[in-house]
Structure 1
Amino acid sequence: MIHEEHLAELSYEEAPKIITDQIPGPKTQEDLERSIQFESMARGGGRFPLVFAEGRGATVKDPDGNIYIDITAGVAVNSVGRCNPRVVTAMKAQMDTLMHASDISNVKRSQLGEVIAGIMPGSLKNNCITYFTQGGSGAVETAIKFVRKITGRSQIVAFHGAYHGVWCGSNSLTTGDQYRKGYGPFIPGVIHLPYPYCYRCCFGLKYPDCNLQCAQYVDYVLNTPYTGADDVGALIIEAQQGEGGYLPPPPGYLSIVKKACEKHGALYISDEVQAGAGRTGKMWCIEHSDVEPDMITWGKGMGGDVPMAGLSIRKDLAEHIEDHSQPNTFAGNAVNAVACMTNIEILTENDHALIKRAGTVGEEILTYLQKEAESIDIIGDVRGRGFMIGIEMVKDKESREPLENDKVVSMIMAMLGKGLVMVPCGRFGNVFRFMPSLIITRNHARISADILLETAREIQNNS
């Protein structure tokens, strides 16, 4: 049983609390200027007008002492909250024993491999080998390399709206313009197909009358002659798309895609870097379907406050990978491994109580947002599962044209001024993400939803 009062102790109870006359405050502005002077703004956060000084649970504090509810969770990273006391204690204890061990086995790394195998879905459960990396890009990059060795094939199928990382191979699978434009050429053999985006269906159809045309099209491309998909080693797909707009696929979609892969002889890779670690109300997002992947890439919420990610593949597939063929000096760091195991313990204890709560509370917030959005013309769609909810902003419900960028920025700043950190995603940059730590209280979750709704009404009334 999870008690709200216990969760409240993990965060700053007084959040949100803004004490400066403007955002960013003077000390925060000083840090921002220093950052711009000495750091590359190529990073994802770029010039976002906030500096983190402290973090507790689902809340953060800036250098000026302003306290915010953090609906980003470090972009779906801090599943058990920032600086969770149990994780901090476990890390401190490990620091006295061993931290770095090179790319050689260490006790905690080996234990983590066993723990990971025990929480995998379907046929991967206790039947997988894990390759550790520091982040999701590395996990996907490794998947590309391993797929080619295992299958002897070179092509990879990915999807429109996909985000699988920003390295050479992983960036070739990602479709965001800001990550690709001017950075080519990319690796050959990548085929991009439409991801189900029911609110903006590229086929002009409506679910369920569409007969899942988007899934049927995947089968057509993979299993029809003369489509150019003649050497596909694997298909990689997010079980709920993240950066592309927080898009949950319609029921039955993934099953058709998996069968198409099996018919072609291609491996099925589920990218769970953003959607995994309990975010959608199940340990792995793929568990909302009846699909069993051949590989899973994971990260973000598994490590929480520390870099930890990996690729878990079925044992029979792993037998094709030669020893010493993929060195990674810092992978499986003992302290990070301990943090990951502690995160998993918190997520899965008491029959996955925290994960199930994310599903329940997430559904409450989703229903509330959908109901309130009916009377707000600039909210076009509210969708998602658990604590992976997307709120799509539009000019008006009838046209569905994406809300102008300057108004999205105005919403971000207005919410910051009210003590809420929320960031957008989506192909048009107009989808706000409700992706808090799983330990967020119902009170903080509801306050966050209300701030978003209030801000949307203000932007609409001022237009």
Structure 2
Amino acid sequence: MINEKDLAALSYDEAPKMVTKVPGPKGSEVLEDSFAYESMARGAGRYPMVYAEGKGATVKDPDGNVFIDITAGVAVNSVGRLHPRVISAMQEQMGKLLHAGDMSNIKRTELAKKVASVAPPGLRDNCTTYFTQSGSGAVETAIKFVRSITGRSQIVAFHGAYHGVWLGGNSLTTGDQYRKGYGPFMPGVIHLPYPYCYRCCFGLEYPSCKLQCAKYVDYVLNTPYTGADDVGALIIEAQQGESGYVPAPPGYLEIVKEACEKHGALYISDEVQAGAGRTGKMWCIEHYDVEPDMITWGKGMGGDVSMAGLTLRKDLAEKVADYSQPNTWAANAMTCAASLTNIEILTENDKALINRCAELGEEISAQIREAAKDIETIGDVRGKGLMIGIEMVKDKESRTPLDGDTMGGLMMDLLNKGIIMVPCGRYGNVFRFMPSLVLTREHAHKATEIFLDAVKKV
């Protein structure tokens, strides 16, 4: 059982507290320099606030405004910002060793063993981990390893996928803003429909659809003359992130995994955004009866520091040539110490924090669904744990996505009320509820009430 008072001590108790409009005078000065000296190609380059301090599930800007952060640094700070135990572990390690190159260090090996012990079924205590600094790096490594292991060059990915923005990962990703003007991309990628039930491309409804979208994956992989004749792997998010927080419906991934096995293709579960306890289980794939051959992970596993990796079955790892994938800066001893502590906090006391995530997520989802009955602009509420997508529409009947200007106005309205929420989705019309798992119930319900009050006025 998690003590709410203990969680409250991790965050600023006065949040939300607004003393200026956003951005305030000091924040505006920083933003002016940022726009002048930094590339705005980064994802949130022109986001109109500046982070100055962080604590738990709350942050401050340079002008003294205090916010409830419903983004967790884009699903990164699972145990909150500056968790005292994580900071203590980092400080202790900083006095011993930081950089060790690609060579072994004590914390690196400890982390590899820890990841093996908490990996999903099929990989648990039967896996090898390759460390990287980001989820993009993990996906790039997966692509390279798949080719070496299988001798095949094709990879199946899905509409709505986000697997990074480097060359290989960007070839798997389908967001227009990441692709337009950057082609040509890596050949051999086959994109198939993801089960976006609210906007089914087949015009069907779950469960009467009998999972035709999953059967279509099987058709493409295991029917002659479909062009899928050299598929080495299929990569999929059990709950898509950037395209709108869309979870796969029950039964879908099981059919997809069976189709992979028939074809002889490896199954890669991308857990970069949905892993580290965010969906109410350590890994999102654990909500399904599927054993992946590989997982890519990152974000919440490192929290305040950069840590990511590719974890694959031992028998597959043995087929990858030694010395074929150097990475000088991966698995710094301090980042490993931080990641080890993050995992300990998430999994201790029989995964109490992760179990609370499932419970609190259901509370918030239920609160929004109940209110949505009387709010014409909330079209769908979906997701698992504290990975909740709220799809905004002009009206429930047409399901026309709410336009960008209105979404931007809502985001600024929330920001000026001390709530940091950012949109995602194929149409940019999905607000995502993805706070730190240490968010108190008081802050969670306060943020939800402020959000609902804002959307009622649209």
TM bin (shorter chain): over 0.9
**2:5 is equivalent to residue 5 of structure 1:** yes
- Normalising by the residue count of structure 2, what TM-score does the alignment of the two structures yield? 1.00
Q: Output the CA distance in 2 between the equivalents of 1:2 and 1:232.
A: 45
Q: Give aligned pairs, total.
A: 458
Tell me by how many angstroms 1:127 deviates: 0.6
Aligned residue for 2:320? 321
Aligned residue for 1:234? 233
Aligned residue for 1:354? 353
Aligned residue for 1:273? 272
Aligned residue for 1:413? 412
Q: Output the CA distance in 2 between the equivalents of 1:451 and 1:199.
A: 25
Task: Write the deviation string for residues 109-159 of structure 1: whole angstroms up to 9, x where unpaired.
Answer: 011000000001112001100000000000000000000000000000000
Tell me by how many angstroms 1:261 deviates: 0.2
1:181-200 alignment runs, 5 A limit: 181-200=180-199
Q: Output the CA distance in 2 between the equivalents of 1:313 and 1:386.
A: 25
1:173-212 alignment runs, 5 A limit: 173-212=172-211
Q: Which residue identity is paired with 1:61?
A: K
Aligned residue for 2:307? 308
Q: Which residue identity is paired with 1:269?
A: I
Q: Output the CA distance in 2 between the equivalents of 1:394 and 1:30.
A: 35
Q: Which residue identity is paired with 1:253?
A: Y
Q: Output the CA distance in 1 between the equivalents of 2:372 and 2:69.
A: 22
Q: Which residue identity is paired with 2:150?
A: T
Task: Write the deviation string for residues 175-216 of structure 1: whole angstroms up to 9, x where unpaired.
Answer: 000000000000000000000001000000000000001101
Q: Output the CA distance in 1 between the equivalents of 2:50 and 2:299.
A: 20
Aligned residue for 1:159? 158
Q: Output the CA distance in 2 between the equivalents of 1:219 and 1:396.
A: 35
1:438-449 alignment runs, 5 A limit: 438-449=437-448
Displaced runs of 4 or more, over 6 A: none
Q: Output the CA distance in 2 between the equivalents of 1:429 and 1:372.
A: 22
Tell me by how many angstroms 1:374 deviates: 1.0
Task: Write the deviation string for residues 276-308 of structure 1: whole angstroms up to 9, x where unpaired.
Answer: 000000000000001000000000000000000
Q: Output the CA distance in 2 between the equivalents of 1:370 and 1:345.
A: 33
Q: Output the CA distance in 1 between the equivalents of 2:214 and 2:112.
A: 34
**2:349 is equivalent to residue 388 of structure 1:** no
Q: Which residue identity is paired with 2:15?
A: A
1:23-42 alignment runs, 5 A limit: 23-42=22-41
Q: Output the CA distance in 2 between the equivalents of 1:452 and 1:181.
A: 33
1:239-258 alignment runs, 5 A limit: 239-258=238-257
Bigger CA drift: 330-339 or 445-454? 445-454
Tell me by how many angstroms 1:46 deviates: 1.5
Task: Write the deviation string for residues 404-428 of structure 1: whole angstroms up to 9, x where unpaired.
Answer: 1000000000000100000011000
Aligned residue for 1:457? 456
Q: Output the CA distance in 1 between the equivalents of 2:43 and 2:443.
A: 26
RMSD over aligned Cα, in angstroms?
0.5
1:76-225 alignment runs, 5 A limit: 76-225=75-224
Aligned residue for 1:59? 58
Task: Write the deviation string for residues 227-272 of structure 1: whole angstroms up to 9, x where unpaired.
Answer: 0000000000001000011001110000000000000000000000
- Normalising by the residue count of structure 1, what TM-score does the alignment of the two structures yield? 0.99
Q: Output the CA distance in 2 between the equivalents of 1:366 and 1:82.
A: 24
Q: Output the CA distance in 2 between the equivalents of 1:30 and 1:197.
A: 42
Aligned residue for 1:338? 337
Q: Output the CA distance in 1 between the equivalents of 2:182 and 2:229.
A: 27
Q: Output the CA distance in 1 between the equivalents of 2:65 and 2:271.
A: 33
Q: Output the CA distance in 1 between the equivalents of 2:162 and 2:15.
A: 32
Q: Which residue identity is paired with 2:24?
A: G
Q: Which residue identity is paired with 2:7?
A: L
Q: Output the CA distance in 2 between the equivalents of 1:15 and 1:305.
A: 20
Gap regions ≥5 residues in structure 2 = none
Gap regions ≥5 residues in structure 1 = none
Q: Which residue identity is paired with 1:55?
A: G
Q: Output the CA distance in 2 between the equivalents of 1:249 and 1:125.
A: 23
Aligned residue for 2:287? 288
Aligned residue for 1:18? 18
Q: Output the CA distance in 1 between the equivalents of 2:297 and 2:314.
A: 17
Q: Output the CA distance in 2 between the equivalents of 1:414 and 1:268.
A: 42
Tell me by how many angstroms 1:451 deviates: 1.2
Q: Which residue identity is paired with 1:13?
A: D
